[in-house]
Structure 1
Amino acid sequence: MEYRITAELTLPVGATGLDGLQQQGAAALLSEWLDRVATVEGPEGVEITPYDHRLKVSSTGAVVELLVDAPALSFAENGAEALLHEILERTELLADWQVGKCEVTVSDAELAEALEGRPEEEPVATRVGLPIEDVTAQRRRLLALSSRLRAFELESFGPPTEDPDSRFLAAGALIDRASVLTEELLLDIMTLDEEAESLDKDEAHWTADDSEGLFVLHDLPVRYRHHYDLSFAKKFLITASVVYSRLTASPWVPPASTAESLALYLLVENAKELLVSFAAVDPDEVTAMFAVFESHAYRHHDHEWLYLEDLDTADPEDSAADPLGFLAQDAHSWFVPYPDVENPALHPYVIEDDD
């Protein structure tokens, strides 16, 4: 697919502006190198082919427009940036210059064509009910975030799909929703605290079952909603923060408790919704990608049992209906590490005094 890239090259910090002669020299050097390039190796070893360029040099740097052929937007942008970095490194007189913004710029018609997908399907922007420019902006934002997911390789989302950007988008969605869920948990804690005080009730017994409009706590298993008090909410915030921070480091450390598994579960579900509803990724592709991801991310899957509808009507005395013993548990016990986890790295705040 053909993409038009606009990139900014800037002078080193503190450098004086270029005079007319220096501008001509910089333009000549950049043009010479750009004319030489045949192919560039981008992310995942995928080659992109630049076959035309425009260049404008000013006293503060240069703006480069590249026309490239690449299999996806992310490959085009990352490959073009790699190319410009290499040119600057190999050109002694420009070695201190910096690559600034480097992104795809296309017309609305080109965007529509790029995002339509299969000919027999309606355009993805129509499917999600958003303007084409909003879908494209969302996808570009998630692609930029994808490099922060260092705990997993792209293969953790399965093989490439018909949308070459989808695995990058999935990685970016996890990073994005980790930030959003953390903020929403903070708001839930504030709501629990404020409502308990305003109604002159005992804080220790005011729970998510007494509140309306909570974000994250109301997405946890409904059967235990009366257990989600202020203490639980604070512990779950710390637990989720620990799990989400592991996404940005390698190697991945799987969830060490039911609470950690639930935190990751909520993250995955929110990432799925973001990809389908706002980034126009095919729902079947999203389901397939995260099925593979979950096989890499979890060590235990006991959290799934908590969402079974049958558990809501099960007899607490029927061990066959509740083989994991969840009906007899208090939700606060979810913070206890799994028995087979050696030396779990628990945050001190979630460890009870009597543990």
Structure 2
Amino acid sequence: MEYRITAELTLPVGTPGLDGLQQQGAAALLSEWLDRVATVEGPEGVEITPYDHRLEVRSTGAVVELLVDAPALSFAENGAEALLHEILERTELLADWQVGKCEVTVSDAELAEALEGGADERVLSSGIGLPIEDITAQRRRLLSLSSRLHAFDLDAFGPSPEDPDARFLAAGALVERASVLTEELLMDIMTLDEEADSLDKDEANWTADDSEGLFVLHDLPVRYRHHYDLGFAKKFLIASAVVYSRLTSSPWVPPASTAESLALHILVENAKDLLVSFAAVDPDDVTAMFAVFESRAHSRHDHEWLYLEDLDTADPDDSSADPLGFLSRDAHSWFAPYPEVRNSATHPYLIDDED
């Protein structure tokens, strides 16, 4: 598929602007290298082919427009960026220049035409009710975030679906939703705190069971909602932040407690919804990708037991119905580290003296 890339090349910080003669020299050097390029190896070893370019050199740098042939948007943008970095590195006089914004840019008419085939045809026929430009903008945003998921490579999402962007989009969705969920947890804490302030001292502790419109706490197992008080919410914010920060570093450290496993579970569910509802990724592909991801990301799957409806009617004294002993435990116990995990792997705020 054909993509038009617009990239900005900028001078090093603090460098004086280029005069007219220097602009002509930079234009000649860049044009010479751009004319030489035949193919470029992008992500996953996929080759892209640039076959035309336009160049405008200014006193502050240059704007390059490239027409490239690539199997998907992510390959086009990443391949073009790799090409420009290589050109600057090989051109001694421009070695200190930097590659700024590098992304696909199309007009509305070109966008509609570009989306007629390949993976993007599914965007048009997805039926999610969003304008094409909104879907494309969301997909581009998630693709740009995907490189921040350092804890996993694309194989963590299983074999590549028919949509070649799908695994990149899944990685970006995890990063994007981690940020959003953190903000929403802060809002939940503020809500509980404000509502608790209105209580008389002899009233019961205010919990998520007493509040309407909470974001994250209402996604936790419903049967324990009366345990999610302000102290719990603060601890869950820390637990989730620990897990989410691990996504951006390598190697991956699996959840160290039931609470951390729940935080990762909620993140995955939110990422799934984002991909299906706003990025037009096929629901079956989303389910398959994250089934593989969760099998690799979790060391335990005890959190899944908390969502079983049968647990609501189980006899607390029946160990076979509750083999993990959740019915006899308070939700605050979820922050205790798994026995095989050292306390050093857990945030100090989450460790009680009795643990």
**1:217 and 2:217 matched:** yes
Aligned residue-pair number? 355
1:95-154 alpha-carbon deviations (Å, 9 max, x no partner)? 2222111110123244334445669x7744761111111111111111111111100011
Partner of 1:291: 291
Contact preservation (8 Å) 2:57, 2:63:
yes
Alpha-carbon contact 1:236-1:259 (below 8 Å) kept: yes
Larger deviation, residues 201-210 vs 293-302: 201-210
Percent identity between the two aligned chains: 85
Instruction: Give the ranges of 4+ consecutive aligned residues of structure 1 lying more than 6 Å apart after TM superposition.
Output: none
Deviations 1:77-109 (A, max 9, x none): 111111111111111222222211111012324
- Of residues 11-20 and 198-207 in structure 1, the stretch that sits farther from structure 2 once superposed is 198-207
In structure 2, the partner of 1:164 is 164
Relative distance call for 1:44 and 1:204 in structure 2 (3 A) is farther
Report SS of the residue matched to 2:127: helix
* Partner amino acid, structure 1, of 2:293: F
Alpha-carbon distance in structure 2 between the residues aligned to 1:74 and 1:202: 58
Matched letter for residue 240 of structure 1: S
What 5-or-longer segments of structure 2 have no aligned partner?
none
| Cα pair distance change 1:297/1:123, threshold 3 Å | closer
| Residue 155 (structure 1) aligned with residue 155 (structure 2) | yes
Whole-angstrom CA distance in 2 between matches of 1:69 and 1:94 = 26
Name the SS for the 2:186 alignment partner: helix
Instruction: Report the counterpart of residue 22 of structure 1 in structure 2.
Output: 22
Mapped contact 2:192–2:206 kept (Cα < 8 A)? yes
Tell me the equivalent position of 2:179. 179
Q: Mean alpha-carbon deviation: is it higher for 124-133 or for 261-270?
A: 124-133
Contact 2:6 2:104 in 1 (8 A): yes
Comparing 262-271 with 337-346, which one deviates more in the overlay? 337-346
Spell out the pairing of 1:119-134 with structure 2 (5 A cutoff).
123-124=123-124, 127-134=127-134
Q: Deviations over 1:195-243 (max 9, x none)?
A: 0112335687211111111111110000000111111111111111111
Match of 1:59 in 2: 59
Residue 228 of structure 1 contacts residue 331 of structure 1 at CA under 8 Å; is this kept in 2? Answer: yes
Cα distance between partner residues in 2 of 1:189 and 1:343: 25
> Residue type of the partner of 1:91?
T
Change (3 A) 1:123 1:256: closer
- CA deviation after TM superposition for structure 1 residue 323, in Å: 1.8
Q: Which residue of 2 aligns with 1:44?
A: 44
Whether the 8 Å CA contact 1:117–1:123 is kept in 2: the answer is: no
* In 2: Cα distance, 1:123 partner to 1:164 partner: 13
SS in 2 for 1:292: helix
1:335 aligns to what? Answer: 335
Q: TM-score, normalised by structure 2?
A: 0.95
1:1-355 maps to which residues of 2 (within 5 A)? Answer: 1-115=1-115, 123-124=123-124, 127-200=127-200, 205-342=205-342, 344-355=344-355
Deviation at 1:60, TM superposition (A): 2.0
Q: Is the 8 A contact 1:196 1:202 kept in 2?
A: no
CA shift in 2, pair 1:116/1:324, >3 Å? farther
**Partners in 1 of 2:66 and 2:122 — Cα distance?**
30
State whether residues 204 and 231 of structure 1, in contact with CA within 8 Å, keep that contact through their aligned partners in structure 2. Answer: no
Is the 1:48–1:79 contact (alpha carbons within 8 Å) kept by the matching residues of 2? yes
Give the whole-Å Cα distance in 2 for the aligned partners of 1:204 and 1:239: 26
Can you list the C-alpha shifts for 1:275-310, whole angstroms capped at 9, x where unaligned?
111111111110000001011101111100110111
**Quick check: 1:4–1:104 contact (8 Å CA) kept in 2?**
yes
Displacement of 1:72: 1.0
Aligned residue identity for 1:231:
G
CA–CA distance in 1 between the matches of 2:133 and 2:125? Answer: 9
Distance in 1 between the 2:2 and 2:86 partners?
A: 22
TM-score by length of 1: 0.95
Q: CA deviation at 1:65?
A: 0.7
Change (3 A) 1:204 1:156: farther
Distance in 1 (alpha carbons) for counterparts of 2:203 and 2:176:
32
8 Å CA contact retained: 2:123, 2:281:
no
Q: 1:351 to 1:342 in 2, by over 3 A?
A: closer
3-state DSSP class of the match of 2:341?
Answer: coil
